[in-house]
Amino acid sequence: MDWWWQQELEDEGIEVLIHTQNRIVGRSQLLAAAWSEADIRRRLRRRAWQTVHPGVYATHTGPIGYDERLLAALLYAGPDAAWSHYTAAEQSGLIKRDDRRPVYVTIPRDRRVRSRPNLLIRRDAHWEDRLAAVIPPRREAAHAVLDIVGISETSDDAAATIAEACQSGRVSPADILLALDGRGRLRHRSVLRPILADVAAGSHSLLELRYLRDVERRHGLPTGVRQRQVGREFTDVAYPEYGLVVELDGRLHLAPQHRRRDLDRDNRATLRAEATLRYGWFDITTRPCEAAVQVLQVLRRRMPALPAHPCNARQCSLGD
């Protein structure tokens, strides 16, 4: 298989290639550009360059940054290698970048490449079928998401990744479902379809998914409207026929402008004759039954006989 950088080397030359690679270069690139082994050794011996991985060099002596590590990982892993997992998801704009993560690279199953510090090598028999049509090579967006799901410790971690990726607008639940059909064994597979259905219905975050599961469904409450648009704003969960809006926020707002924004939103709901209940991460993850009681109390203002039931928790507040 040809290297992904060969055409640029032929068209632009080695100096331009090194520049576009954040001053990272591979031994294979230098040899392809007619450099000799002696040329390479001379720069290393003089300490004008430094070794990042075996056969991969930084053409400077300063610290190695995250972007440099990304390119160095691909060059080290060989021509048939691609960013995967968190790395591919970051580079595709699916999730927020985190420079503290290791670089993830996937290679064909019949190859062997040793992992290095801050570089994790994975092998996949379907490597070529799951590549995006981009350079540098990386996994398709949906498969990058499933890569992360496969190494997630909990189903909540998997759900958070799916919600964030789909909210980016660069991958859809349908894309992930299609990719899932081509996967055999996969961790958390049994819960993926319900999670994807909930994300497709409008849940944009793990907190929204937890509210749907732990507050609404487990207590038999009506299903609210997700991401209802009102003017230029979106409400997290709305119960229009009951005059209730539920806002969910996993962040801790300390800045005055954020508090003012929330107050303005609540005030506009009041002007629409809608009550607002606002919950954070702690409320939904540790006290979902109390939240269900409060939501039900507001809903029953419009429909006193609205049914609901306690969840399976030993001391569910809804049963009091």
pLDDT score recorded for residue 264: 59
Across 92-96, 133-137, 168-172, 313-317, least confident range: 313-317
Angle between helices 141-151 and 155-167 (to 10 degrees): 160
Residue 143 or residue 251, greater confidence: 143
What distance, in Å, lies between the first and last C-alpha atoms of the chain?
67
Most confident of 156-160, 258-262, 316-320: 156-160
Write the pLDDT tens digit of every residue in 30-50: 999 999 999 999 999 999 999
Write the pLDDT tens digit of every residue in 178-207: 999 999 889 999 999 999 999 999 999 999
- CATH H superfamily, domain 206-319: VSR Endonuclease (3.40.960.10)
pLDDT score recorded for residue 153: 96
pLDDT score recorded for residue 266: 63
Name the residue among 296, 292, 299, 249 with its Cα closest to residue 274: 299
| Strand 50-53 versus strand 24-26 pairing type | unpaired
- Residue 135 pLDDT greater than 80, yes or no: yes
pTM, two decimal places: 0.86
Domain ranges of the chain: 6-140, 144-200, 206-319
Share of residues in the chain with pLDDT > 70 (%): 92
Write the pLDDT tens digit of every residue in 249-259: 865 444 444 55
| Strand 225-230 versus strand 233-239 pairing type | antiparallel
- Mean pLDDT in the chain? 92
